[in-house]
Amino acid sequence: MRALRLILLSLALARAAAAAGTTAPTPMNAIAARPTALVELFTSEGCSSCPPADALLAQLAARGDVIALSFHVTYWDQLGWRDPWSAETFTRRQSAYTHAFGLASLYTPQMVVDGHKPFVGSNRTAAADAIRDALARVPGARLSLSTRATGASIAATVHVQGAPEDAVLFVAWADAERSSAPNSGENGGAHLKHVDVVRVLEHVALRGGRYDDVVHLTRPEAVAGSVVAWVQRGGGSGDVLGAQRVQVPAR
């Protein structure tokens, strides 16, 4: 009888809401029950110190509380092997971090966790400590992400609320896995593997700490990967305030 009364009460409330022309609000899914840390690795296939960091990123990416991104920079490309995944956009991103952190120069491998903590990218202890600290922080913005893929074209619908005035939105496409076998350079003769390799990075301005629109991406190849969206302070080189990822199958 008690179960029947609860069912009847639920139906009555639903009819009342419909009669009033109201619907239950749809919650934004940025602040999930389980927090996440955004881990960026700046790496290069021309750097012999980078494969251990690439392997560490792969292990971190398997965690449910980490969103991993691998940015391949260009300043090793003239030293014997051109990294096929490198782009100047990613070098400029690392340069912005270098300036923000007051570092003397660029270096690889470098990890940055939640835009807050830089360290040598193969340092497991530093990575664990930085991720633990990031997971303990309260997200500073509400963010939701959904995607629709049609061949090479991906439409990412993003909603942002509550971001501070100096925050910006990034939306990236990352290939799930990549590999190559350099025949020259410091890693000549090695077989290299990478995960979550960023191929496309879009920078979107926020208005009044909000964004409600679609960001269009074009993935370069017919491989599986993910769309990652995150809100970041300091014009894009400060603390990460929230991040979301949606996995997309191969087209």
The model's pLDDT over 73-92, given as tens digits with 9 standing for 90+, comes to: 999 999 999 999 999 999 99
Provide the residue count of the chain: 251
- Give CA torsion, residues 220, 225, 227, 233, to 10 deg: -90
| Rounded Cα gap, residues 239 and 35, in angstroms | 15
Backbone torsions φ then ψ of 39, nearest 5 degrees: -115, 115
Q: What is the distance, to the nearest Å, from the Cα of residue 31 to the centroid of all Cα atoms in its chain? A: 15
pTM: 0.86
The number of CA neighbours under 13 Å toward the Cβ of 183 is 0
Tens of pLDDT along 43-64?
999 999 999 999 999 999 999 9
Domain 37-248 has CATH 3.40.50.720: no
Does the structure show a pLDDT above 60 at 24? no
Does the structure show a pLDDT above 70 at 125? yes
Long-range contacts of 127-136 (CB under 8 A, 24+ apart): 127/39, 127/56, 127/60, 130/37, 131/37, 131/39, 131/60, 131/65, 131/66, 134/37, 134/38, 134/240, 135/35, 135/36, 135/37, 135/65
Average pLDDT (123-148) is 97
Within 10 Å of residue 30's Cβ, how many Cβ atoms? 24
Which amino acid would we find at residue 14? Answer: A
Backbone torsions φ then ψ of 172, nearest 5 degrees: -130, 150
Token output for 8: 């009847």
